[in-house]
Each structure stands twice: as structure tokens, then as C-alpha cells.
Chains A and B, each alone.
Chain A
Amino acid sequence: MKHTISVLVENKPGVLARVVGLFSGRGFNIESLTVGETEDVCVSRMTIVVGGDDMILEQVSKQLNKLVDIIKVIDMTEKQFINRELALIKVAVNSGNRGEVIQVVNIFRGKVVDISSKTFTVEVTGSDDKINALIEILLPFGIKEMVRTGAVAINREWQKEETKKNK
């Protein structure tokens, strides 16, 4: 199962290598990873999306907790959380289909942020499902290049009763 793990770490050199080393040392492929500062400049938050057996992931999260520079490890998947990703997609267009592409992008509440005679660059944010859906629809037009940030996630302030009890 896919897990979204949020890791609060000390904002200093080498910490990312320690975290990533725990995954690579166990032969895990990280699907996506984002790092950025939090409200406290001494603390960074990593959002790691990784797939794998639950028991092994529990092991990885215990190992993460053991690292001295790690403040907190939260498996977001156990709770309700908001999860967003940004993608920039360079799609091939011609005079015949520009309008159609714009319509599609609008439906996904995306934006065209760059334009040339042969391409549109589309910016879109959302869950990975939404972005995957947009990619699928744009694919027939021809995707020249694409970049995705990987997910960032934050837990919902309001949690369903049963998930609270589980915690």
C-alpha cells in the first residue's frame, strides 16, 4: 500500500542523506520526496510517498524515529490529510486544437503559464489522482516535457471520531 509519511527534521546538512539512506539501504524506491522549511526555520518538513509492505514501512518509520536529527515521524495515511502536488506540463498544440486544450485545462482548474507557436505550458495543482487524470487527457495531444513536485501533505484539523480513537 502507498504511504505518505511526513517527517519533521532538524534543518541542517546531512539530514536528508540520513533519511534517504534508510530507504535505499532497504531497497525501497521512494515515489516522491519534498523538503521545505516549516513555520520554525530550524525545522524542515519532508513529505515522502513510498509504497511497500505495512510491516516493513512500520520498521522504516521506527528507524526514522531513531535518527538523532529527526523530530517526529507521522504516517499521514493513518489519518485524514490533504495532499497536493504541482505539475508543469508542456503540451504540443496547433492552431486546430488550442481551444480544446484550454477547455481541458480549465476543467482541471489549471493555468496556461507559457505559450509558444507549438506548445502550451500548463500549471496544475491537486492530488496525484487529479494530475494523473489530466496527463491522461493531454497525452493524445503530445506531451513534450513534464515535471512534478511530488506530494506535500498536511493533516486535517478535523478528524473523524474513529480515526481519533485509533490514535
Chain B
Amino acid sequence: MKKKGAEILIECLEREGVDIVWGIPGGQAIPIFDALFDSKKIKLVLTRHEQGAAHMADGYARATGKIGVCVATSGPGATNLVTGLATAYMDSIPMIAITAQVPTKLIGNDAFQEADVVGITRPITKHNYLVKDVKELARTVREAFHIATTGRKGPVLIDLPSDVAKTETEFEWPDKIVMKNYSPNYKGNPSQIKKAAEEISNSKKPFIYAGGGILSSGASKELKAFAEKTGAPVGLTMLGLGCFPGTHSQFVGMLGMHGTRASNLAMNESDLIVAVGARFDDRVTGNLAHFAKKAKIIHIDIDPSSISKSVKADIPIVGDAKSVLPELTKQVLQRKHSEWWAKIGEWQKSFPLLYSRKGALKPQYVIEQIYEMTKGKAIIVTEVGQHQMWAAQFYKYDAPRTFISSGGLGTMGFGLPASIGSQFGKPNSLVFDISGDGSIQMNIQELIIAVEHKLPIKIVILNNGYLGMVRQWQQLFWKKRYSGVDLSIQPDFVKLAEAYGAVGMRVTKEEEVKEALEKAIKITDRPTLIDFKVAPEENVLPMVPAGAAITEAIDYKDVELA
């Protein structure tokens, strides 16, 4: 049967199992939206800014493990997706972005609302396509989904000129896709696995360093079995939180700049690091010259270019965690490592996560109360900054995909739209957006989407009147010269919430925290925003200064209790 390009596109999305897309139309995108109008399977959510659409698709993908899809028009619509695509790319999130383009004969002509979107997004997508022939469209969409969801996942963009969207052709669904140059390796090399298993069995002080790759591989169970057999401590990257239970006795905490001292010290003192689905990011390793000098490194990752990028691996294993970990578990010897754990226990005792409840309401207290009230069962989405780190430190994540945050790119304004996307994907879950007064203002316009679709997300603003993380750096390393961080002139967030049709509350004292949260959790037909006025100059600690060795952290007691 003959179909128009736009109809082919929508039918392909339906066949790929897409049931929701986020986007905003525009002149060149009308054919696509016209075809969406007839779809019985795909729900269209009209956002207020394309960046919101991208982050919603991203949040949906992170919460569900499915692929997120967003649609934008040519030119400014497409360029507004850029931050969202870069965010998803840095964190390996599977996404499809569809952008309309000016008609093929106008491409390169500086036409109205034209931008070289394929050129602009080339370094921030896993792959991208400009479809100039409608006959190529169905195959392109299939390839795009295949690329986005296999190997190291990531966003793929399809740029569709409006004349191609309007041209008719015979629709043929390609049953199979053959891509001779693209075939990610899932099974690890057996002899490398054998070597690794021997090293693990012989190690006296092993350390498991796991990250977001465990979540995208769906290998949480496999990781737990492996960790329990080896008896090794487990430290997680921020994006890995939830891939190993936060309440497990072998969990030593988040790694890196604001990680627990015990986790960082144990990784640095270990004689063998087993890195799985993590990439030795600079925020985790600190100064490379001093990083884990005594350790051999086993690095398991599906992306060969992640291995030996910053830290040379002694035993590289290219493969999927879900396939490699069970093989390793089979071959390693059961161990307890009592001596090693005694040492780690000392660190845990000497360097607990601390904060003082003296003075004004503390943001850490709010996070702890959210943990108590939700029994750790909520989906916690964050923006970027101090609140993000407190949410990572003071909430224990037991289940995969319950901590959702922009890690690699660190995108302020991610949280609100991502929490909306998460709630669309997980309608029965309790979803929080932990936010700061800076981040929340970066995409506040999307609040109306939660109102329109009756999404009961809970927006928690830890309001300290500053761009707090930058202020913290300025306090500690820039002689308290608070340049460009004062947010004390701000909207009344309670009234703002009410103006949008959400519920707004304000909390200024510890005694009010629990009651406000209880009230918020009971509201099920609209979003709730709680403005927590917290101590303005509270710091995220411990903190490893940029450029220092990962063991050289500044502790809470050094700064706040000195």
C-alpha cells in the first residue's frame, strides 16, 4: 500500500512499540503531526519547550528501560533539543529524536527555520540521519532503533525534510536489518574471563566498581550474585546508584568527588579493581597520578573505547555485563575477606556521612525524611547541584532505575521534565523531583504538563537562595568571592505552583517537614511543589577538591564543625 513519508514514520514507530512521544510542532513538522493525529497507539504529549520534550523522553527511558522518543520542528525546534540530546548521549540513554527539516531543494539555502541539524548533533548523538529519499525511511527508522538500543546505548536523530514527509511510496517494513559495520560484542572473550576469575580468586583486597552500564544491561541480579560470591566491597558511580542495593552489607557507598570516604579509600587501597559498566570518569578517579597505584584492573564494558581510556586495564573484557558476570561468578572462588572488611569497617567508622542539625533547616534532613517516608521505594529524580549530591548521599537506593539524574553532562533543568517522563512511564510509582532554587527555574514551564496530565509528581526545592554548588566552590577555593551566585531575588514558588494549578507548600522548620511530605504524598491528581527554605551556606561534604587525589577529601568536620 502507498503511504506518505510521515505516515510511514508513524507506522514504523508503532511497530517498534512506541506508545508515547513528546514534542512541539512547527511549520515543517506539520506533516509528521498530521500523521500522529491518526495514530491510535501513540499518545502525543505537547510540551512547552523542546528541551522539556527531550528530557521527558530521557526520563521515561531511564525509569522504564524502554526507548524514549521526542519530535521537534526544523531550525529552533531542533536546536532546542541539543542540550537534551547531549545529556542522553553522555549517560548512554536510548532515545530517538525526530526533527523536521526544510524541503530538500531548500537545504543549504538559509531557508526560514533552517539549521544543519545533522551537523550540529553529530558529536552528541550515537548516530544521525538525514533522510532524502522516502524509500529509505522505513529502513532508516529500523536502523535508528537498533543502534539506539544495542551496544552502548544512546540517542539517534532522524532529520526528515518536509517534502520527503509528504511524498508517497510503497510501504515495506524491513523484517530484518543487516548492518555489516555495526555489531556490538555481547559475549566476553572466554580466556580473558578465565584470567579475570583467577585474579579475583587470588586477590586479597578486591573492589567492585560498578556504574550505569549495569542498569542499561539489566544486570543487577547478576552483579549481586557476583559480589556475594567474591565477598568484595561494592562502590557505585552516581549513575550506578540502585544497580546494587544501597542497604546491602557489601555496599560501601558512592564513589568519587562527593562519595563516601570508605568507598574511595577502599578502591584506592585495593589490590584488584573489577570495573563493570563504568568508565573511570575524572569525578570518580580524582588525580590519575595518584589513583589506585597498587591495584590490577579488570575492566568489563560493552564499549571497547571506554576501556583503557584514562586508566589502563590489565585484563580488558569487551562484553555485556549480563553475559560476562554470570560466567565470572561461575569461575571465582567463594571468599569472605574478613581482614579486608575489618580495615573497611574502620574507615566506615572513622568517616561516616555527617551533618549537623543545629541552626536552620538542613537539606540533608529533608532527604533523610523523604527516605523514611517512602521507605526507599520512590523514584528520585534530581536536577544538578548540591541537592543532587545530597539526594545521592542521604537516600538509599535498593532497586534499579530509582535514581535518575544527569551525570555526565550535569544538566540543570533536567529534573522536572525527567520526573514527568518517569511518571508517564511508571504511573503507579511515587516520583520525586529533588531540586534547587536555581535548577527548577531552568525548565519550570514544563510544570503545566504535569498539571495537564494529572501527574502527582512531588517537586522538592531545597531552597538556599544560591547557585549552591558554585557558591560552595567559591567559599572553599575562591576566597568566598560569591560572584554570580545570588538567587535571593526569586519568585514565590508556592504562588508559582498555584498559578500553574499545582499544590504549593512552604516549609521552614524541621517540625514541619514530615507533615508537608505526608500531605504531598496523599495528593494523587496533580503535582505538588514544596519550597523548603534551608540553611543558605550548607556544603556538600566530603569533597575531593578538583585535581586532588581521591583519598584527599575535605570532611564535614573540617569545614562545618571546625
Contacts and interface: CB of A to CB of B under 8 A. Distances in A.
Interface string B93-127: 00000000000000000000000001100110001
B146 to A, nearest CB: 10
B453 interface: no
A63 B127 CA distance: 13
A134 interface: no
Given A55-B308, A58-B308, A63-B305, A70 B123 contact: no
Interface residues of A, number: 18
A59 B123 contact: no
Contacts of B303: 66
B539 to A, nearest CB: 34
A142 interface: no
A83 interface: no
A74 interface: no
A70 B122 contact: no
B127 A68 contact: yes
Interface string A56-72: 00110011011111110
Contacts, number: 34
A28 to B, nearest CB: 14
A68 B119 contact: no
B123 A25 contact: yes
A27 interface: no
Contact of A62 (B119, B123, B305): B305
Prevailing SS type, chain A contact patch = helix
B123 A21 contact: yes
Contacts of B182: 68
Interface in B112-155: 118-119, 122-123, 127, 130, 147
A17 B119 contact: yes
A21 B123 CA distance: 7
Nearest to A59: B309
Interface in B274-317: 303-305, 308-309, 312
B179 interface: yes
B191 interface: no
Contact of B122 (A21, A62, A66, A71): A21
B181 interface: yes
Interface string A14-54: 10011001000100000000000000000000000000000
A62 B304 contact: yes
Nearest to B180: A71
Nearest to A10: B181
A16 to B, nearest CB: 11
B304 A65 contact: yes
Interface string B202-241: 0000000000000000000000000000000000000000
A57 to B, nearest CB: 12
A62 B181 CA distance: 14
B282 to A, nearest CB: 15
Contacts of B312: 55
A25 B89 CA distance: 15
B147 A68 contact: yes
A58 to B, nearest CB: 7
Contacts of B181: 10, 68-71
A67 B127 CA distance: 8
Nearest to A13: B130
A67 B123 CA distance: 11
Contacts of A14: 118, 122, 130
Nearest to A58: B308
A18 B130 CA distance: 14
A12 to B, nearest CB: 11
Contacts of A18: 122
A14 B127 CA distance: 11
A68 to B, nearest CB: 5
Contacts of A66: 303-305
Interface string B24-60: 0000000000000000000000000000000000000
Contacts of B119: 17
Nearest to B182: A68
A70 B180 CA distance: 10
Closest 6 CB pairs of A and B: A62-B305, A68-B127, A68-B182, A63-B305, A71-B181, A62-B304
Given A17-B122, A55-B312, A67-B127, 11 more contacts: A10-B181, A14-B118, A14-B130, A17-B119, A25-B123, A55-B308, A59-B309, A62-B305, A68-B181, A68-B182, A70-B181
17 contacts: A14-B122, A14-B130, A17-B119, A21-B122, A55-B308, A55-B312, A58-B308, A59-B305, A59-B308, A63-B305, A66-B303, A66-B305, A68-B127, A68-B179, A68-B182, A69-B181, A71-B180
